[in-house]
Amino acid sequence: MVGYTNKAHSAALAPSKRAPQRIGSPSSTDLARIQDNISLPNLHFEIDDYCSDWVYPPDHFDYIHVRRLYGTVGDWPEFYKECYEYEKTPHPSLASFDCIADSMPYSHLAPGAFLEHTETSVTLMSDDDSIPHGSAFQQSNALAIVCGQRFGKPMAIQNRIKGWITEAGFEDVVEEVFKWPLGDWPADPKLKDIGRWNATLWNLGIEGWSLRLLTQTHGWTADEVRRWNKDIRNQITARKSHGYQLV
């Protein structure tokens, strides 16, 4: 699992029936040990920067799972190359592997292995024009994209992933796209339920997503960001905007 944060997420995947049997001890990575109490059976945690050269030996993984890493990677084609086919000078820690030569491409995925990337769009859309011009929701669309550009790590990647993965050389690339409502506005019970989960994610996450980015890339004050966060939360609660993201 690349980019961890979430115990429930890792717990759901660690004993996964989808995981091929060869995975004895899946690893989950992040920049720091940011969660307490992350002891889980069948999972170990590693501190690793996935934007640096990967230090895993060839054919190491049967399954690489990536979720919601928009805004954290500057060069996605390079990221997928690390997963699939890697040609540049190997990291020194791999020098002891006889099978690695400078000129020979190798892969961090074993033959027949899988990469799965689940990503959300950062822009909110609606099918009924219910996101008012100038509203916090509408503002968030442009802000997210410009923040990514100024920060050097794109936010709007959800609709580019299939192309990048295909260009990296993966075969049998399958893309499924779903709507993920924001808030409990849908009539359909399942969409209402996942919309509530998304509202909780936004309510809890919005300050962390925006405070540093908007102060650093747009020059907003912390108070301005917090006021805007409140506008976003109010718009979610008001249920008048039938916004959704794509997943």
Ligand X SMILES: C[S@@+](CC[C@H](N)C(=O)[O-])C[C@H]1O[C@@H](n2cnc3c(N)ncnc32)[C@H](O)[C@@H]1O
Task: Choose, by CB under 6 A, the member of 13, 14, 26, 30 that binds ligand X.
Answer: 30
**Cβ neighbours for 190, distance < 8 A, ≥ 6 positions apart:** none
Q: Is the CB of residue 59 less than 8 Å from the CB of residue 110?
A: yes
CA distances from 26 to 2, 10, 45, 50, 57 (A): 11, 9, 9, 16, 15
Task: Choose, by CB under 6 A, the member of 13, 64, 67, 147 that binds ligand X.
Answer: 67
Residue 5 or 237: the one with the smaller Cβ distance to ligand X is 5
Give the separation between CA 36 and CA 111, rounded to whole angstroms: 35
Residue 55 or 126: the one with the smaller Cβ distance to ligand X is 55
- Shortest Å, Cβ 148 to ligand X: 13
Q: Which residue is nearest to ligand X (CB)?
A: 3
- Does the protein bind ligand X through residue 54 (CB under 6 A)? no
Task: Choose, by CB under 6 A, the member of 15, 22, 31, 227 that binds ligand X.
Answer: 31
- What is the DSSP-derived secondary structure letter of residue 195? H
- Does the protein bind ligand X through residue 7 (CB under 6 A)? no
- What is the DSSP-derived secondary structure letter of residue 89? P
**Cβ neighbours for 43, distance < 8 A, ≥ 6 positions apart:** 10, 11, 14, 25, 26, 27, 28
- Does the protein bind ligand X through residue 35 (CB under 6 A)? no
Task: Choose, by CB under 6 A, the member of 7, 9, 91, 239 that binds ligand X.
Answer: 9
Residues that bind ligand X (CB under 6 A): 3-6, 9, 29-31, 49-51, 67-69, 72
